[in-house]
A and B are shown apart, each in its own frame.
Chain A
Amino acid sequence: MTVHDMKHAASDSARLEAVGGRLSRVDGPAKITGAAKYAVEQRLEGLTHAVLVGATIAAGKVIGIDARAAETAPGVLAVLTPDTIMELKGASDWLGNPPAQPTYAPLVRDVTFSGQHIAAVVAETFEQAVAAAALVKVWYDEMPAIVDLSDGKAGDGIPIDAMTKEWGDAEAAFAEAPVRICAAYNTPREFQAAMEPHGLIARWQGDELTIWEPSQWLDGMARTYAEWFGVPFENVRLVSPYVGGGFGSKALALAHSAVAAAAARMLDRPVKLVLNRPQNFTSYGGRAATRQTVAIGADRDGRIQSIVHRGVNETAVDGMWVEPLGSVTSIMYATQNFSSRQNVVRVNTVVPGAKRAPGENPSAFGIECAIDELAYELGIDPLEMRLINYAEQDPHAKKAWSTRQLREAFAAGAEAFGWAKRSPEPRSMRDGHQLIGWGVAAGTYPVRRAHGEAVVKILADGSVVVESSSIDMGQGTYTILAQTAAETLGVPVERVSVKLGDSHFARAGVTGGSRLAGVMTGAVYKAAGQALDELIGLALSDPRSPFQKLQANTLQVRDGRIASPRGEGPELSIAELMSAVGRDRIEAKGDTLPASTTAEERYKNYTTIAKSIPHTEGDYSRYSWCAHFVEVRVDEDFGTVRVSRVVSALDSGRLYNPKLAESQWKGGIIMGIGQALLEEGIVDRRHGRIVNGNFADYMLPTNADIPDIQTISVGIPDPHSSALGGKGVGELAIVGIAPAIANAVFHATGKRVRDLPITLEKLI
């Protein structure tokens, strides 16, 4: 891959609307006026409402359901149970592996977690469905549940050999190291908690299914629906114009999705089903709870000689989730000897899932706290410690970094934060009764790459339409794709309209792993370039074009006007040229796949993640990097921790729109503050139930919890990571925040809290 010189880069780079400009969100006006219609806000004739009934036990069997009262309640159209719901076929997983079972039952008799869907009530109104759902009686044969990782019955779990990373002789080198630290780090079950609940509207018209559902992956979810119902992929249309936050949770069609689509099929009426807030804590997986031990051996100068890492994450009784805990451990610091292994432990939970930086996030909590502990063991400044062990190449892949501006991030962050003024001793900085602590930690996230396609149309009036089945959940897809098309074609950005969130548009893979911007700017750049070539080709060669007699080799488009680069001859608007040559549109479809790609490979590329390109492909190892500097204030008497200042320097390569990238970085930092200090799914020990599954008891950061945050971009264009030089943005900034805060709390108090969240009872 190469960084393409943008055709208008020299004159336009300073412009707001060019790639790299600080253009405000183009979808902003719709969102601030209430005009933006999210998926379940469509108005449909004959719409019905479904409400789910969830299991009140975590393990056992449903031995009876009495739905009579519900069935006769006003407005009720149907009560679906495991006995009455239509049979669905099994669907392949997100890697494209065929289903383990030939059939799929989204309503269950065998319960493996609390809240699992048992029944659903469909009624004419939402109120009627809610009331009737409360009348459904369920009898259980309850069995003992393994409620979480600390349950005595949980055991050591299953080794995941694919997670093993080893070189050198880590155990022996650790045993021989003159300085050693070893500690255990825990993270709890955490939830994505997007403000827009999960839900959908399903409508069948014959064998054609339309689903309006917030989605991070239209084509992948459409495939799942098609397989469940045994209809061709083309028969399923997924619509998701705006997505009210996902953070990893909205990439898959889930059990409740199947229930709604089945109910719509059975009743032959459109069905709307939206999970209530507590159901959003049990109907899909948050981040798995994790346990890690990190042992580091070093010489007396602080050089790491060995890292031995062991990790465990919880998974479900009937599903597998691996949270890769050695992902940051294995690459952040140079070491000759390394060992990381991981087990998963089955507990009675819904299958855990992806939450912002799955793997890297808890992995960084372990290694970035441990390196701080080693620094204190040796009396070396924690920032200096990191520089002493700076990895000049990928220690695991043994390849050169494509770009790694981490040293620059440390320098810029330390300067802006004032790190040099830090007094190293714990409890040595205070302001009245508040102990002040300064902590540092690094973060990283791999550059995940894939392929995408986009359609770019130039219309008769000179306006431009970009279409893609990718989505915007707040990252700014609408905006950066408009900027890419505008700059490539040489038209003002307000003449570009971007249409996303419809699986009938040009295809795209999953919006996850911080890959979308890099993939889609590349696809739009290519499609827009093809459209521009066709436009200029018409202008030069069509006999009706006023440029034809110029005999020029090329033409230039600026501000929507076509002219010779030397300014000789005529100047026409795009609309005038289209009219002159009698065209009502120019349309180009661009994709980033090799031309030889077969139709089947394309389908697999967009509907599974099997075709993702490894970040260590070829000669380079590709990652985004960041360094966080955090100040905390801890009340000495009460143990309350407040984050009072954050400075983060980040390397996401080239930023397509710094205004939006900074917002995403701040969002990651804020979610990290929640993780460090507030967020924890609490499980009832008797019934394995999430007892704080709501927004009052599962505490998200509020505005009053968040200080000023300064972000500094230290990235440079990375030609090996994407067509336009960007690396990942969305997930990077959360990685490293929790350890930076934990390290700051240690500096403030002298207490090392290795178990998130850092709540006051752990400090007093």
Chain B
Amino acid sequence: MNDQVTISPTTLSVHLTINGRDHALEIEPRVTLLDALRDRLALTGTKKGCDQGQCGACTVHVDGQRVLACLTLAAQVEGREITTIEGLADEDGTLNAVQAAFLEQDAFQCGYCTPGQIMSAVACIREGHAGSDEEIREYMAGNLCRCGAYPNIVAAVRQAAQELRS
């Protein structure tokens, strides 16, 4: 440890576009997107499981790509389109096909990894990586689920992919 470490009090003005809405934040540069969402914007649907990029619970979309919010600084994503679990359903509450399939297939238990799983699944289908169960398993392997909902997650992604294709 170093006595000379100085902690900068500097804050930044950061403008984030989340689920189609603009948010202005005064935050330190070291604030992650995950903590900005959870602690500053009350968007707690995005979960903190490990805070070190190992579990996938904080998966969100930035310009349509899946990204780990715990390894992304809020300031990095200014001007980009951020989508979180709260922004996935339609304005009228109609669920996204993946959300509906998760409910039907019982693809979760405690629900804590679920927002990240669903955000990953939406991207997995969009990326064209839901062609077979094998492929779904591989491309969903970055999202840990300790309750062990994996077989049901595979079933849900398969079902949603079929519905979205048809």
Q: What is the CA–CA distance of A663 and B35 in the complex, to the nearest angstrom?
A: 31
> How many residues of chain A have a CB within 8 Å of chain B?
69
Q: What is the CA–CA distance of A269 and B149 in the complex, to the nearest angstrom?
A: 39
* Residues in B neighbouring A69, C-beta threshold 8 A: 3, 5
Q: What is the CA–CA distance of A666 and B47 in the complex, to the nearest angstrom?
A: 23
Q: What is the CA–CA distance of A131 and B8 in the complex, to the nearest angstrom?
A: 11
Q: What is the CA–CA distance of A134 and B6 in the complex, to the nearest angstrom?
A: 12
A482 to chain B, nearest CB (A): 15
Q: Which residue of A lies closest to B45 (CB)?
A: A34
* Residues in A neighbouring B39, C-beta threshold 8 A: 125-126
B-facing residues in A167-221 (Cβ within 8 Å): 192-197
A124 to chain B, nearest CB (A): 11
A215 to chain B, nearest CB (A): 13
Residue A243 interfacial (CB < 8 Å): yes
A730 to chain B, nearest CB (A): 10
Q: Known: A32-B99, A195-B113, A277-B52. Contact between A247 and B146, CB under 8 A? A: yes
Cβ-defined partner of B141 (8 Å) among A41, A474, A704:
A704
* Residues in B neighbouring A664, C-beta threshold 8 A: 109
Q: What is the CA–CA distance of A703 and B118 in the complex, to the nearest angstrom?
A: 14
Contact bitstring A436-480, B, C-beta under 8 A = 1, else 0: 000000000000000000000000000000000000011110000
Q: Which residue of A lies closest to B108 (CB)?
A: A31
Q: What is the CA–CA distance of A621 and B55 in the complex, to the nearest angstrom?
A: 41
Contact bitstring A137-155, B, C-beta under 8 A = 1, else 0: 1000000000000000000
Asked if A473 and B110 sit within 8 Å, CB to CB, the answer is yes
Residue A659 interfacial (CB < 8 Å): yes
Cβ-defined partner of A667 (8 Å) among B112, B140, B148:
B148
Residue B30 interfacial (CB < 8 Å): yes
* Residues in A neighbouring B162, C-beta threshold 8 A: none
Main secondary structure of the interface of A (DSSP, over half): loop
Asked if A194 and B146 sit within 8 Å, CB to CB, the answer is yes
Residue B24 interfacial (CB < 8 Å): no
* Residues in B neighbouring A701, C-beta threshold 8 A: 148, 150
Q: What is the CA–CA distance of A74 and B6 in the complex, to the nearest angstrom?
A: 10
Asked if A25 and B52 sit within 8 Å, CB to CB, the answer is no
Q: Which residue of B lies closest to A76 (CB)?
A: B7
Residue B153 interfacial (CB < 8 Å): yes
Q: Known: A34-B115, A127-B31, A243-B110. Contact between A195 and B149, CB under 8 A? A: no
Q: Known: A32-B102, A69-B3, A696-B54. Contact between A245 and B112, CB under 8 A? A: yes
Q: Known: A34-B84, A195-B110, A695-B54. Contact between A126 and B148, CB under 8 A? A: no
Residue A236 interfacial (CB < 8 Å): no
Asked if A25 and B148 sit within 8 Å, CB to CB, the answer is no
Cβ-defined partner of B146 (8 Å) among A24, A34, A245, A709:
A245
A138 to chain B, nearest CB (A): 10
17 sampled A-B residue pairs with Cβ under 8 A: A30-B111, A34-B46, A34-B86, A38-B44, A38-B47, A128-B7, A193-B146, A197-B49, A474-B111, A660-B106, A663-B152, A695-B144, A696-B52, A702-B141, A703-B138, A703-B143, A706-B137
Which 7 A-B residue pairings sit nearest by Cβ, starting from the closest? A34-B45, A474-B109, A244-B112, A670-B148, A31-B111, A667-B148, A474-B110
- Contact surface of B with A, Cβ cutoff 8 Å: 1, 3, 5, 7, 9, 28, 30-31, 35, 38-39, 42-52, 54-55, 57, 84-86, 88-89, 95, 99, 102-104, 106, 108-115, 118, 133, 136-138, 140-154
